[in-house]
Amino acid sequence: MTSTVTRPTTSGPADRPTPERAPRVLSFGQKLSRWDVKVSPYLYISPFFILFAIVGLFPIVFTAIISFQEWDLVRNSGTFVGLDQYIWILNDPKFWTALRNTFSIFLLSTIPQLLLAIFIAAMLDRNIRAKTFWRMSVLLPYVMAPVAVALIFSNMFGDNHGLVNNILSNIGLEPIPWHKDPFWSHVAIATMVNFRWTGYNALILLAAMQAVPREYYEAATVDGANAFRQFISITLPSLRPTLIFVVITSTIGGLQIFDEPRMFDNTGQGGAAQQWLTITLYLYNIGWGEFNFGRAAALAWILFIIILVIGLLNLLITRRLVRDDGGRGVVRPRRRRKGVQS
Partner 1 sequence: MNSRAFRKATVAVAALSATAIALAGCATGGGSGDASADPDGEITLTLATFNNFGYTDELLQEYMDENPNVKIVHNKAAESGDARANYFQKLGKEGLADVEAVEIDWFAEAMQYSDLLAEVPDSAKGRWLDWKEAGATDADGRLVGFGTDIGPQAICYRADLFEAAGLPSTPDEVATLFDGDWDNFFDIADQYKAATGKPMIDAANSVLQGIVNQMEYTYTEPDGTVIATENPEIEDAYNLVVERAVPNSAYSGQWSDDWNASMANGEFATMLCPGWMLGIISGNAPDVSGWEVANVFPGGGANWGGSYLTVPANGKNVDAALALADWLTAPEQQAKTFIEAGQFPSAIEAQSDPAVTDSTNEFFNNAPTGQIFAERSEAITVTPFKDANYFKYHDALQNAVNRVFDGTEDQTTSWNTWVAEVEAF
Radius of gyration over every alpha carbon of the chain, rounded to an integer in angstroms: 29
Q: Kindly determine how many residues on this chain lie close enough to bind partner 1 according to the rule CB under 8 A.
A: 42
Q: Which amino acid is at 249?
A: T
The residue from 63, 64, 70, 73 that contacts partner 1 (CB under 8 A) is: 73
Distance of CA 171 to the CA centre of its chain: 40
Q: Is 10 in the site for partner 1 (CB under 8 A)?
A: no
Q: Is 57 in the site for partner 1 (CB under 8 A)?
A: no
Site string for partner 1, 178-207 (x = CB under 8 A): -xx---------------------------
Q: Is 63 in the site for partner 1 (CB under 8 A)?
A: no
Are 42 and 33 in contact, with CB atoms under 8 Å apart?
Answer: no
Are 295 and 286 in contact, with CB atoms under 8 Å apart?
Answer: yes
Q: Is 88 in the site for partner 1 (CB under 8 A)?
A: yes
CA distance linking residue 337 with residue 179, whole number of Å: 55
Q: Is 8 in the site for partner 1 (CB under 8 A)?
A: no
Are 198 and 117 in contact, with CB atoms under 8 Å apart?
Answer: yes
- Other residues' Cβ atoms within 10 Å of the Cβ of residue 167: 12
Nearer to partner 1, 19 or 47 (CB): 47
Are 154 and 264 in contact, with CB atoms under 8 Å apart?
Answer: yes
SS3 18: coil
Going by C-alpha positions, the residue among 141, 120, 143 that lies closest to residue 131 is 120
Range 283-312, binding partner 1 (CB under 8 A):
288, 290-291
Phi-psi region of 130 (alpha: psi -120 to 50; beta: other; left: phi over 0): left
CA distance linking residue 78 with residue 64, whole number of Å: 13
Q: How far is the CB of 96 from partner 1 (least distance, A)?
A: 13
In sequence order, which residues have a C-beta less than 8 Å from that of residue 60 and are 6 or more positions away? 304
Compute the 3-state secondary structure of the chain and give helix, strand, coil in percent, each to the nearest 5. Answer: 70, 0, 25
Nearer to partner 1, 162 or 254 (CB): 162
Range 153-182, binding partner 1 (CB under 8 A):
154-155, 158-162, 177, 179-180
Q: Which stretch binds partner 1 (CB under 8 A): 49-57, 100-108, 120-128, 333-341?
A: 49-57
Q: Which stretch binds partner 1 (CB under 8 A): 4-12, 45-53, 206-214, 219-227?
A: 45-53
Q: Which stretch binds partner 1 (CB under 8 A): 31-39, 200-208, 210-218, 251-259?
A: 31-39
Q: Which stretch binds partner 1 (CB under 8 A): 17-25, 70-78, 309-317, 330-338?
A: 70-78
| Number of residues that this document lists for the chain | 342
Q: Is 84 in the site for partner 1 (CB under 8 A)?
A: no
Residues forming contacts to partner 1 in the complex (CB under 8 A) are 28-29, 32-33, 36, 40, 43-44, 46-47, 50-51, 54-55, 73-76, 88, 91-93, 154-155, 158-162, 177, 179-180, 265-267, 269, 272-273, 275, 288, 290-291
